[in-house]
Structure 1
Amino acid sequence: MKINLINWRLIVRFTLNFILHQILMFLFVSLPAIFYIVVLKQPEKLFFVNLTTVLIIAAYLLYCLFYGYYVARPMADILVKIRKLSNGEYLIPTNKKRFRSPSSRLYREVYANLEALSATLQESERKRLEFEQLRQDWAAGVTHDLKTPLSYISGYSDILLSDEHEWSAHEKKEFVQLIKDKSAHMEELINDLGIAFRMDQNIGIKLSSQRIELGELIRRVVAETANMPSDKNNSFEIVGGEEPIYVMGDAGLLKRAFSNLLVNAVVHNPAGTAITVQMHNITHVEIQVMDNGKGMDEHSSNHLFDRYYRGTSTDVPTGGTGLGMAIVKQIITAHQGTVDVKSTTGHGTVITIRL
């Protein structure tokens, strides 16, 4: 609506200016004829008529020059600014009132829109560069995370194939088990990549619609996470969910989303962190995953669900792809839900999902 009002204001302004200029031009051109008609019966005044005609023509020429300057000069300035924007040179916005000639004020809406466009393009470029940096950091981290288990697989395979040593059956079983575990880890990383990209493009992922008892699903996920091999001795608690909570959706994907949330709370927090899952079912289903861990700063909170954001330096092995939380948001969004995060450094994190 605001854009339409601006368009109408521009149309009315330019129309009124055009009419006014045409009236003035008509008066300037008509004056010599009026003088001739008035003084035809008085030849002695012909000199003054000729002089007046010359003056009027000169004034008309000056008027044309002024009109051209009035209209063309700011238009040339606008074209220069557009050319700068096309070359990636952004205009510097300022809140101070700058002196502008009356001709520039004719195009003040155009100048305002150019500055707004410049600010939008500049912000888009900033986000693009930030995203590109995240992508590069993510690529470095995922390469590291894939290379580590691959080196185990390659190393233990060489050991088993070596003829220099004789290994006992128990040792061979340990080596094969290590190879299997690392292969499963690599498969999980690759599956994360596949799920994220297929859901982002809405291909290859079919959401099944089934009636799910959410409380039971979450209890299973919490039990699986609590029984993961870990030396952190984290505590888990479930609050609410005594009454059945039913939702429609894909049980496999919802299980993956809650599993990612809980594993993330374990991996990125110190030993002994208390993790609580709280469930409510009033006007909508609300699940909160809370921990009393190290929390996050504002930057990490704002980018937690961004693809490729890992939250740690690429020098630190996270064991993840940086897609886990992005997958959570994609799954919840696909179920017409929302996911939010509140966190403060040193005071834990609360992630709220509403379905």
Structure 2
Amino acid sequence: LVRLVAVIRDISRQRELDRLRSDFVSAVSHELRTPLSLIKGYAGTLLREDLTLPPETQRRFLAQIDAAANRLQRLINDLFTVSRLEAGRLELQPQVTDVAALVRKVAEGVQQVADQRIQVRLPLMPLQARLDPDRIAQVLDNLLGNAIKFSPPEGTITVSAALEGEGDWVHLWVEDEGPGIPPQHLERIFEKFYRVERGMVRKASGVGLGLHICKSIVEAHGGKIWAENRPEGGSAFHVRLPVAGPPKEPAAPAQA
């Protein structure tokens, strides 16, 4: 009987994995098709010789093309990162980094394509840590992008940074004003391919990779990532990173 129950559980897990993979393929197809269609549509209009568009309209069309191209770039970066994770080849390039400047830079880039206001809260004191700035920027970009998907257009998204403990941890967190995360999903949202519909104001997109990538990058730094619902509404995603940097790889044994 015990073996039968174990077999049934294995079959259920396999079916769930197959379903998630199928949903993933469908989501990737949608995520690629949507911005490509937008780029093709706006570019085609701009190239029509029989139309004379006002400069303001041309700039608006070009801004839409740029936003769609950025969306494609993020998706491709995520897919590339996952392929490296699967192959066990995610390499970090840690260096002493001005964390406050990194947070500002990512927030400013996201603000250009966000309807919501991006608010940045940073300490007055210098905030430095040894980390891979490109990878942590990828984490922040994913967390802010996630907050944008689930927040109303008129809302505010806040990204904050602070030192914790005795100054040996950096705490980064992103807060949104969305509907929050159903409690039963909080433990699973960092799984690969896992997506949650949160009853948001507008339909969310995504392929279920962003949070999984964030978790992998943060843990490779020796840090921790988690999510929670805010008492006043919305959700918050937290990242804690060691100031000293990622754990060092054990030295390879000397050759005889």
Residues 1:262 and 2:144 aligned together: yes
Tell me the matched-pair count: 233
Check whether the contact 2:215–2:225 (CA below 8 A) recurs between aligned residues.
yes
Say if 1:168 and 1:133 are closer, same or farther in 2 by CA, change over 3 A: same
Higher strand share: 2
CA deviation map 1:83-108 (0-9, x unaligned): xxxxxxxx3xxxxxxxxxxxxxxxxx
Aligned to 2:158: 275
Q: 1:19-58 alignment to 2 at 5 Å?
A: none
Residues 1:167 and 2:51 aligned together: yes
Q: CA deviation at 1:332?
A: 0.5
Question: What is the alpha-carbon distance in structure 2 between the residues aligned to residue 196 and residue 331 of structure 1?
Answer: 11
Q: 1:161-200 alignment to 2 at 5 Å?
A: 166-168=50-52, 173=58, 178-200=64-86
Of residues 123, 126, 141, the one that matches 1:244 is 126
Aligned to 1:340: 226
1:268 maps to amino acid: F
Q: CA deviation at 1:190?
A: 1.7
Which sections of structure 2, spanning at least 5 residues, go unmatched? Answer: 242-256
Higher helix share: 1
CA deviation map 1:206-263 (0-9, x unaligned): 31121123233223333433x323333x352415x33333322211111111121122
Which sections of structure 1, spanning at least 5 residues, go unmatched? Answer: 1-90, 92-114
Q: CA deviation at 1:179?
A: 4.4
Q: CA deviation at 1:158?
A: 5.0
Check whether the contact 1:265–1:291 (CA below 8 A) recurs between aligned residues.
yes
Question: What is the alpha-carbon distance in structure 2 between the residues aligned to residue 118 and residue 310 of structure 1?
Answer: 30
Check whether the contact 1:332–1:338 (CA below 8 A) recurs between aligned residues.
yes
Check whether the contact 2:147–2:157 (CA below 8 A) recurs between aligned residues.
no
Of residues 185, 192, 196, the one that matches 1:311 is 196
Question: What is the alpha-carbon distance in structure 2 between the residues aligned to residue 177 and residue 215 of structure 1?
Answer: 28
Question: What is the alpha-carbon distance in structure 2 between the residues aligned to residue 345 and residue 282 of structure 1?
Answer: 24
Question: What is the alpha-carbon distance in structure 2 between the residues aligned to residue 125 and residue 249 of structure 1?
Answer: 41
CA deviation map 1:14-39 (0-9, x unaligned): xxxxxxxxxxxxxxxxxxxxxxxxxx
Question: What is the alpha-carbon distance in structure 2 between the residues aligned to residue 336 and residue 127 of structure 1?
Answer: 29
Aligned to 2:113: 229
TM-score by length of 1: 0.56
Q: CA deviation at 1:343?
A: 2.3
Question: What is the alpha-carbon distance in structure 2 between the residues aligned to residue 181 and residue 229 of structure 1?
Answer: 6
2:163 maps to amino acid: H
Identity across matched positions, percent: 26
SS in structure 2 opposite 1:247? strand
Q: CA deviation at 1:275?
A: 2.4
Check whether the contact 2:157–2:174 (CA below 8 A) recurs between aligned residues.
no
Check whether the contact 1:145–1:317 (CA below 8 A) recurs between aligned residues.
no
Aligned to 1:124: 10
Check whether the contact 1:200–1:330 (CA below 8 A) recurs between aligned residues.
no
Of residues 186, 192, 196, the one that matches 1:301 is 186
SS in structure 1 opposite 2:239? strand
Say if 1:131 and 1:281 are closer, same or farther in 2 by CA, change over 3 A: same
Q: CA deviation at 1:160?
A: 6.0
TM-score by length of 2: 0.75
CA deviation map 1:48-75 (0-9, x unaligned): xxxxxxxxxxxxxxxxxxxxxxxxxxxx
Aligned to 2:252: none
Aligned to 1:253: 135
Q: Which has the higher contact order (CA 8 A, sep 6+)?
A: 2
Say if 1:211 and 1:261 are closer, same or farther in 2 by CA, change over 3 A: same
Of residues 10, 16, 19, the one that matches 1:133 is 19
Check whether the contact 1:310–1:321 (CA below 8 A) recurs between aligned residues.
yes
Question: What is the alpha-carbon distance in structure 1 between the residues aligned to residue 238 and residue 63 of structure 2?
Answer: 38
